[in-house]
Chain A
Amino acid sequence: EAGVVQSPRYKIIEKKQPVAFWCNPISGHNTLYWYRQNLGQGPELLIRYENEEAVDDSQLPKDRFSAERLKGVDSTLKIQPAELGDSAVYLCASSLSRNSYEQYFGPGTRLTVT
């Protein structure tokens, strides 16, 4: 069974440019998460989806970040415009449902903003 797939794996952009990350969760997993991991720290939740619905986006900086999960499968996280402080690893995770909480993570996208 394939794991969580993310692309791209690496992205280097100049500040003020837009960037987008894509995630395909494990087949059959209804819950999808986006995390951000800064250097030397643990991942922190940005947004959680139950199927198509964003049920927890309290940590998402809504002035520049947006996310969508059309049809309740793949998801895209966008930053526009990017700032230097956005440099981090962006991780996508999925779980079978909110009542089955073991989460599985993708390989992440390492973003560098110059």
Chain B
Amino acid sequence: GIQVEQSPPDLILQEGANSTLRCNFSDSVNNLQWFHQNPWGQLINLFYIPSGTKQNGRLSATTVATERYSSLYISSSQTTDSGVYFCAALNFGNEKLTFGTGTRLTIIP
């Protein structure tokens, strides 16, 4: 099946800083999603982005399918951005959404 790797595993930033989270995947994808898992464990959908670029407020994401990576950008970080960010990918051959191991983001006031 598809392999998904995320980096960095941990990121500690001061409030107001910008951050870039990276997701590499081993095969072509038909679905790529970014999630934020909050401290209560809820997985919140951020982006559905198998290709291209999307923006939602302070967050944006880019997937370059030909180079098999996706990036999540967070600008002007807030303490509420803290949590674990997961990238998950799926291709038609496997039809199984495979998650990376996540990036734990901590925003310090």
Could you tell me which A residues sit within 8 Å of B by CB distance?
A: 33, 40-45, 48, 56, 89, 91, 98, 101-105, 107-108, 110
Contact = CB atoms under 8 A, between A and B. Distances in A.
A98 B41 contact: no
Interface string B27-43: 00011010100001111
A105 B48 contact: no
B42 A102 contact: no
A91 B31 contact: no
21 contacts: A40-B101, A41-B102, A42-B88, A42-B100, A43-B43, A43-B86, A43-B99, A45-B96, A45-B97, A89-B41, A101-B31, A101-B90, A102-B31, A102-B33, A102-B48, A103-B33, A105-B35, A107-B41, A107-B42, A108-B41, A110-B41
Interface residues of B, number: 21
A60 B45 CA distance: 25
A110 B42 CA distance: 11
A56 B101 CA distance: 22
Contacts, number: 47
A94 to B, nearest CB: 12
Interface in B51-109: 86, 88, 90, 95-97, 99-102
Interface of B: 4, 30-31, 33, 35, 40-43, 45, 48, 86, 88, 90, 95-97, 99-102
Contact of B96 (A56, A107, A110): A56
Contacts of A44: 99
Contacts of A104: 45
B33 to A, nearest CB: 7
Contact of B95 (A41, A98, A110): A98
Nearest to B6: A42
Contact of B97 (A40, A103, A108, A110): A103
Contacts of A102: 31, 33, 45, 48
